[in-house]
A and B are shown apart, each in its own frame.
Chain A
Amino acid sequence: MRKVLLGIAVLALLSMGFAQPFVWPNAWIADPDSVQMGGTFRDYEFSEVRTFNPFVTAESTGVSNLAFQGASLLTRGPDSDEWLSYAADSFNISDDGLTVDVTLRDGLVWSDGTPITVQDYFFTYQAETDPDVGSNSYDGWFIGDDQITLEITGDNSLRFNFPKSDRTALGVVALTPWPDHILGELYRSGGAEALTAAWGTDADLSQFVGSGPFIPSEYRSGERVIFVKNPTFGQWNVDEAGNALPYMDGYTFAVVESQDAALNLYLAGEIDAFSPRNLDDIGVINVAIQNGDIDATVLENISPVASSQFITFNWNKASNPFLQSVFRNVDFRRAMSHLTDREAMVDLVYGGSASPAYSSVYAVMDYWINPDVPKYDYDPEAAAALLRDIGFTSTNSDGILVDSEGNALSFVLATNAGNSQREQIAQIFADSAREIGVDVEVQAIEFSLLVDQLLSEGDDRPYDAILIGLTGGNRDYPFGSNVIPCGTNLHMYNTSGSCIAVEEQLMTKLYYEGRETLDTAAARDIGYRIQEVEAELQPIVYTVSPAAHYSWLNTVGGQHPDGLINSIVGSREIALTYIKQ
């Protein structure tokens, strides 16, 4: 008997020796030499938690990001957009880009101690691609109408089959598994209904099994979510010194109903970090630091936020042929870009904490931004000259430019009511336009009405021009699949269903070409071309991107080194965050 036990012990030791944990690089944190164990990070969450079910969740919030973090096959560090093997031991993309073979890392384990196997990944794939489950990841499994499939090719290996090569689809290889022995059982016995009914906000969270650094343990509706350290995470996640991760014992979210309430909690020292919205917030925090209320770090103007703000002109106005022909005229749109006083918007609206934007790619994704696109910067005289060239040579009694037929250059610029920054941007634009005789009436209308107008389709749509923003998108290829190609629903300036300008056709073609290009540098070259064509066509006039700010109490360590913090990767990796005792 003793021999057997000894044998088992030796085997266990051997298998541990072979299991290679994932080593989190020191380069990802600012102060790797002073890490400490224990403690709890106190974060805040802005919206109500809807579910703890990874197949039901539809939102990207702090809570969902932490709860649904886990043994994804691939991951990305804060220092690069390249995919790294994480739960995968290795991965290999075939030359034609149609298959990706993945071998699992040894020693992967669920929070309940059960080993993570290829079956877990396979079940997750099955559930995510089942339309009855309705997972938010469903779309990611499709390229056009063709589905990406997953097969088990061995005890320890998986293969992803792509209908065609597509760089935006690499994200699906970064599949995060869910436990087959729990959720998979439910799915097989009760179908999609049983699967989606599990792990709701009313569920007993002791049943939750995951693979991330922290596991949700308690939820009080509208008040807080408590996560505890996943005891098995450190078996396959270590730092360079060999310490098991995560460093902290727990992570909590206070659910707040407004940013102001979160700021109050931060000033009261009850949460550890706060993302200031604007310079007012930063001012309040700085005063509190000076008064000695809190001991905190403030990072101001760190990077542009990952969103865009722009003016789009409606090319589908059959009922108003004059405005339709004006909006379709490239010189008119370049003149409008010349009338966009981006510097004034940065200074007056954002107090200097914003940057001018000239491209559909968010300014924070500097790798993808083409710095040499034509910029039709603020220049009212150039704008007036362009407008003269297209026939607006005289003004009427109100001082508004008119063409030879007496049509006055006058249109409505709508934006969403309640967004005071957008209303100000629109007003600055209207003021500079008025100076050279372009009459722009700013209308702030209800957001849902604005969206309705923007998304309307056909040859005669109800708006003139709209100032709005977009967020979201893909780090592998930051061009929206619903935005760039003609005929898609966010191709906002022209939703007639077909291309009107040849540049639109070119951009559509380039978009798909770049998507199929797996080599990142080559894809970027194509992306550069898209931005060039778009800038010349100016179908959309980009305005400014506000900046992101960060602040945290100095009792917290483990943030990214300076230069690695931005609005996409954030200020820290949770697994590498530690509390100074």
Chain B
Amino acid sequence: MIPYIIRRIIHLIPTFIGATLLAFIISQLVPGDFLNSMRLSPDVRPETIARLEQSFGLDKPWYTQYFLWMGSLLRFDLGQSFSGNQPVSAVITKPIINSLILVGISLIMLYAVAIPLGVFSAVRQYSVADQIISAVSYFGLAIPNFFFAQVLILCIFLFRSFTREYFDYNQLILPVAQMTSSNYDTLTAFGKFKDVLWHALMPAFVVATSGIAGLTRILRGQMIEQLSSDYIRTARSKGLDERKINYKHALRIAIIPFVATIGALLPGLIGGAGLVEIVVSWPGITPTLLQALTAQDIYVVLGFLIISTLLLMIGNLISDLLLAVVDPRIRYN
């Protein structure tokens, strides 16, 4: 096992270099650069633009820029962001953590809801409840997240009108934007935790929906297949109770394909929650990445790419290893 892991890690190095080179070339194919907006300003002197080009290294050919950047990567330095004179690592750390919080909460929601639902659907195949779950699942799969978030925000506002009308309660039941309340800094540690959780509830639910829908559908299929197999019949004939059969025997096997995807969750975790973050102003990866893309702050963009490439490669490795753990038929040497 150990030599296998070492071999895999050595193989990662050329993949990683290739990925960075490709990312860098693509970033250079985009016309213009960070100073574009300055060039469109009616009163900025050309000398200033030339001076900034030089200080940002934008006047050098792309391969020189690439090698300079790779050189600093080897020293674990992701480079400098053009806007605001800050290192890239400082720009991207906080958004990554914020996205991790949101995606983490939504993952917990995902598994807490999808697994029981999937099992239930399979056990009560073709029942009314199963049909309803299927219908809702298709809806969840089909609706785009950013739109669903807007719909929920509208519902929160409408609910305020309702509670004001009938209960004289003129507050929103859930926050509609941001990650913390304005009095966040005066809260206790537990209060802060609750505050973030409170703000994350709606966006995390939105992020989880499409996952819940997909996972429920697949798990249902897997479970149905397992429930009709011989070992389940044997278990039933031994007189085991249904709960044990479903969760201890069938689910264990049905879940194997998901274990294989756990590694892929790692880059997904930092991939952020996508446009939902923009809709609810969650200070995560997507808004920062989009701002960097529009401003052509390329080292920030590349910084995110590097981190997700690394996590993708590590995630794949972990997936393969986990598979060997859960599936005794797989052996690496």
Contact = CB atoms under 8 A, between A and B. Distances in A.
A245 interface: no
B85 interface: yes
Interface string B263-295: 000000000000001111111100110010000
B296 A470 contact: no
Interface stretch (B31-39, B104-112, B322-330): B31-39
Contacts of B281: 254-258, 261-262, 265
B96 to A, nearest CB: 11
B291 A47 contact: yes
Contacts of A291: 161
Given A47-B291, A223-B179, A451 B184 contact: no
A59 to B, nearest CB: 8
Contacts of B94: 221-222
B40 interface: yes
A508 to B, nearest CB: 15
Interface in B132-167: 150, 153, 157, 160-161, 164
Interface stretch (A23-31, A48-56, A342-350, A429-437): A48-56
Interface stretch (A397-405, A475-483, A499-507): A475-483
A481 B31 contact: no
B124 interface: no
B86 interface: yes
Interface in B143-200: 150, 153, 157, 160-161, 164, 172, 175-180, 182, 184-185
A138 B164 CA distance: 55
B46 A483 contact: no
Interface stretch (A94-102, A108-116, A195-203, A534-542): A195-203
A138 to B, nearest CB: 6
A231 B57 CA distance: 43
A568 interface: no
B45 interface: yes
Nearest to B160: A293
Contacts of A223: 178-180, 184, 283
Contacts of B185: 218, 220, 226
A264 B177 contact: yes
A203 B67 CA distance: 31
Interface in B6-63: 30-32, 36, 39-46, 48, 51-52, 55
B31 A446 contact: yes
Nearest to B185: A218
B303 interface: no
Interface residues of B, number: 52
A221 B42 contact: no
B68 interface: no
Contacts of B175: 268
A257 B286 CA distance: 10
A196 B85 contact: yes
B95 interface: yes
A480 B31 contact: no
A448 B38 CA distance: 12
A257 B277 contact: yes
Given A50-B86, A482-B41, A482-B43, A258 B279 contact: yes
A202 B85 CA distance: 12
Contact of A131 (B46, B51, B172, B179): B51
Given A139-B48, A261-B278, A200 B31 contact: no
Interface in B112-142: none
A254 B296 CA distance: 25
A454 to B, nearest CB: 8
Contacts of B179: 222-223
Contacts of A221: 94-95, 283
Contacts of A451: 31-32, 36, 39-40
Given A51-B86, A56-B85, A482-B43, A222 B95 contact: yes
Interface in A230-266: 252, 254-258, 260-262, 264-265
B84 interface: yes
A474 interface: yes
B279 A261 contact: yes
B246 interface: no
B32 A481 contact: no
A292 interface: yes
Nearest to A452: B31
B84 A51 contact: yes
Given A223-B180, A257-B287, A268 B172 contact: yes
Contacts of A480: 42-43
Nearest to B179: A223
Nearest to A59: B83
A84 interface: no
Contacts of A42: 182
Nearest to A448: B32
A270 interface: yes
A489 B46 contact: yes
Contact of A48 (B44, B46, B177, B291): B291
B84 A473 contact: no
Interface in A186-228: 196-197, 200-202, 218, 220-224, 226
B98 interface: yes
Contact of A481 (B43, B157, B164): B43
B90 A202 contact: yes
7 contacts: A48-B291, A53-B85, A261-B280, A270-B182, A448-B36, A448-B296, A490-B39
Interface of A: 42, 47-48, 50-51, 53, 56-59, 131, 134, 138-139, 142, 168, 196-197, 200-202, 218, 220-224, 226, 252, 254-258, 260-262, 264-265, 267-268, 270, 291-293, 446, 448-449, 451-452, 455, 470, 472-474, 480-483, 488-490
Given A51-B86, A134-B52, A448-B31, 4 more contacts: A51-B84, A131-B51, A196-B85, A223-B180
Q: Which 3 A/B pairs are nearest by Cβ-Cβ distance?
A: A222-B283, A50-B84, A480-B42
